[in-house]
Amino acid sequence: MAQDDQHTDAPAAEPRKPVFDGPPLSLEEELAAARAEPEPGPTIETVNESLADGVNRCPKCGSTDVQLRASSGMLVCLFCRHQWQEERVEEELGLGVGIDELEGTVVASGAGEIDEGADDIVTLTCGGCGAEVVVDTAHAMNARCHWCRHTLNVNKRTPNGAVPDAVLPFKLTRDEAVEKIREFAGKRRLFAHPRFRKEFVPENVLGVYLPYLVVDARAEASYSGVGEVQTRRWTEKSGDNTVTYYAADVYRVDRSVSFTVDDLTMEGAADRAQFDSSTTNNIVNTILPFDTKNAVRWNASYLVGFTSEKRDLDVGDLSPKLEDQLLSIGRSQVHGSLDRFDRGVRWEGEQVDVGGSRWVSMYLPVWIYSYYQENTKMLHYIAVNARTGETMGSVPVSQWRLIAAALTVGTFLEGIAGAILVGTA
Amino acid sequence: MSALLDLQVTVLASGDGAPLWILAAGPAGALGTYWAIYRYYRNNDKSHAYERDTLIDAKPVQGHEEKVDHISRTRDSDIDGDNSAKYRERVRRLR
Ligand SMILES: [Zn+2]
Ligand SMILES: [Zn+2]
């Protein structure tokens, strides 16, 4: 039992102090935190591990009662305790190499077009007892036989594109995720909505594999616009005031850059791919990137104890988004070549030629604590990257408390301004 | 607020003592406080910085520039519509 700590239903062993009890942080503390620069994201160590051959059953005893041990990222056989890991797709599929020679659109088999007509319901024959078990692949990619509890793996490439090429196993345990979420909310106590404070139970966190398309691409981006270089600066007197004037040379500017990107990661579910003010989808987007180099060949055993979401966006749907992101990347690449234009550059036209791209579909692991705010009908998340531990969230605020604080600060500043005016009048 | 602005213009023109526009410190401070805290809680402005956090291998930047005009006298301290650092702001596609 100690082996699969992330799957137990019992709450964390030692009871910890509830986040929203005790003395609140002072306004100054929270203000300082709110104004501070965001902390830099964690760096990713892409460690090269030697991997065992992947098989769907326990390679030692043949049992299908296999689970992921998050602490080690290994699959563990619950019958004989043997541990192993699937092959990294990086080497197996030859990803990460030859990006500068990519031609056309290369799509890994698991990233193929989703067949809308194909049924989500797959019937599997249990290898343990022979019973026919139905798995709804729209909601789960694995199931247990309810007769003999053998794990049924949807390992075959089903024709509807439901099975990804690769999976990045959970690494952070459930307890570690709870701690991250507790810490994130704990720094946001003063203005949290009272109902959120009352109902905050970080132990309700869920481990979810979310679908992504991971892209290698080769591209050339070009930009044209106008840049200005200051040639002179002087002041003139105008009544009691001095006015600063400038003279400048105007240039027509062109830039282009060829580059490759390795493992650009895009949401594969339409529900999560739209970022606007009516959703909190940007929260899960912000905890990217993942150490996708360590993703291993798909094996449904990795999903035991977690939920998963099905991909519904195809390569064709995401190609415009890829071009958009490549244009942004190219812009950031040429930025350093604009130093001489000290009055700035205004880009007016741009284009990108994608020489080649390679698409792999991947399940990436996220711990999600969700909270539905009834009065605004908004779903809030605190999401933890289950590889790097990067945490981001949306905490519903108490509007009246926030306005009261803003007015307090405003009144204080106004008092100072008034005093200065009176003092100098 | 518009009354305050009118008053402000009057005082600026007279040029005596501290300018009245420092009275805007109160409302500006209140608004700034509101947005700073709101953003800290809701994080609605955050997203994945793929321009920085993706493995990118770029060849040297190519390009040229050509002087086309001269501005001999302006009060603007910088170019209009500088978008060189707004990587995600899209402009006209050339083709
Ligand atoms: Zn075994
Ligand atoms: Zn069975």
pLDDT 10s digit of each residue in chain A, 425 long? 334 444 444 444 455 666 676 666 677 777 777 766 655 433 322 222 322 222 356 778 877 777 888 777 788 888 888 888 877 878 777 777 778 888 888 887 777 776 655 566 666 666 667 766 666 666 666 666 666 666 666 655 454 556 788 899 999 999 999 999 999 999 999 999 999 999 999 988 888 889 899 999 999 999 999 999 999 999 998 888 899 999 999 999 999 999 999 999 999 888 778 777 778 889 999 999 999 989 998 877 787 778 777 788 888 899 999 999 999 999 999 999 999 999 999 999 999 999 999 998 899 999 999 888 888 888 899 999 999 999 999 999 999 999 999 999 899 888 888 888 888 76
* Ligand sitting nearest the alpha carbon of A55: 1
Q: Are A226 and B52 in contact (CB under 8 A)?
A: no
* CA A385 – CA A364 distance, rounded (Å): 9
* CA A103 – CA A357 distance, rounded (Å): 7
Report the candidate in A206, A241, A218, A9 with the shortest Cα–Cα distance to residue A100. A218
b/e per residue, A117-133, with b = 16+ CB within 10 A?
Answer: eeeeebebebbbeeeeb
Helix, strand, coil in percent for chain A, rounding step 5: 25, 35, 40
Q: Is the dihedral of CA A132, A138, A141, A142 positive or negative?
A: negative
* CA A270 – CA B50 distance, rounded (Å): 19
Residue bearing tokens 């741009």? A350
* Chain A: closest CA distance from residue B3 (Å): 17
Report the candidate in A223, A56, A243 with the shortest Cα–Cα distance to residue A151. A56
The verdict on a CB contact (< 8 Å) between B65 and A414 is: no
The verdict on a CB contact (< 8 Å) between A289 and B54 is: yes
Task: Please state the length of chain A.
Answer: 425
The verdict on a CB contact (< 8 Å) between A249 and B43 is: no
Q: Are A127 and A64 in contact (CB under 8 A)?
A: yes
What backbone torsions phi and psi does residue A108 show, to the nearest 5 degrees? -65, 155
Amino acid letter, B64: H
Q: Which residues in A lie closer than 8 A to residue B78 (C-beta atoms)?
A: 228, 343-344
Q: Could you report the predicted ipTM of this complex, rounded to two decimals? A: 0.79
Beta bridge partners of A375: none
Interface list for B 8-37 with A (CB within 8 A): 15, 17-18, 20, 22-23, 25-31, 33-34, 36-37
The closest CB to that of B65, out of A251, A282, A335, belongs to: A251
